[in-house]
């Protein structure tokens, strides 16, 4: 694989822009859903989220300016790695899987702490039980961690599946060799 530093930086900046915009939209939805009637706080939070979203859009549209500033003279430097597209896709899927495992485990731990404190507060009420919605988040985080582990461990199989799906209308070479031996 052959590329240059400027292209790698532009790709990284665009990835960061997408993550920034998604975070801004999630935070805006959370602020609106948890609005407690304080319009000044709601307006300030939404204004800050709009700023995040605007920065994400600007970084998506013009990543070259920031990449040029970050790399300056070495932007045209050629980066060559003896890694093929299949290995790169496998690494990307493994990183995605590990990221989901970390997100699931950290969410499970943080929500577990919240549930412990909430359980202590709920003992004063009539039922003394946690609401079912709290357990839904536990299931969500466990499933997220398990799905991430499955993606990380099955990255090579997923790359092979993607190969077969891209060549779907035509027969794969392995099938053709087997069919040719069966005909003879």
pLDDT value, residue 33: 81
Regions of the chain short of the pLDDT cut 50: 179, 183
Verdict on whether the full-model pTM lies above 0.85: no
Count other Cβ atoms within 10 Å, centred on residue 97. 20
Distance, CA of 71 to CA of 6 (rounded, Å): 7
Quick one: pLDDT at residue 62?
A: 92
Which pLDDT belongs to residue 125? 64
Q: Where are the domains of the chain?
A: 1-82, 84-169
Predicted confidence (pLDDT) per residue in 7-30, tens digit: 888 888 999 999 999 989 988 888
Per-residue pLDDT at 173:
57
- Residue 150 to residue 104: CA distance in whole angstroms: 13
pLDDT in the model for residue 140: 94
- At residue 132, the pLDDT reads 75
Rounded to whole angstroms, the Cα distance separating 136 from 83 reads 42
């Amino acid at each position: 694989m052959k590329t240059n530093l400027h292209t790698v930086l532009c790709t990284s900046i665009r990835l960061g822009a997408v993550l920034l915009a998604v975070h801004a939209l999630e935070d805006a939805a959370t602020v609106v859903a948890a609005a407690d009637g304080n319009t000044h706080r709601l307006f300030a939070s939404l204004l800050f989220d709009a700023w995040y979203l605007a920065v994400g859009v600007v970084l998506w549209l013009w990543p070259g300016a920031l990449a040029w500033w970050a790399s300056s003279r070495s932007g045209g430097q050629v980066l060559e790695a003896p890694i093929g597209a299949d290995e790169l896709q496998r690494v990307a899927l493994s990183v995605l899987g590990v990221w989901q495992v970390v997100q699931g485990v950290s969410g499970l731990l943080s929500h577990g702490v919240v549930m412990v404190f909430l359980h202590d507060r709920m003992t004063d009420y009539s039922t003394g039980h946690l609401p079912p919605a709290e357990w839904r988040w536990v299931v969500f985080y466990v499933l997220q961690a398990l799905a991430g582990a499955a993606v990380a461990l099955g990255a090579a199989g997923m790359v092979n599946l993607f190969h077969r799906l891209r060549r779907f209308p035509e027969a794969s070479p392995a099938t053709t060799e087997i069919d040719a031996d069966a005909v003879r």
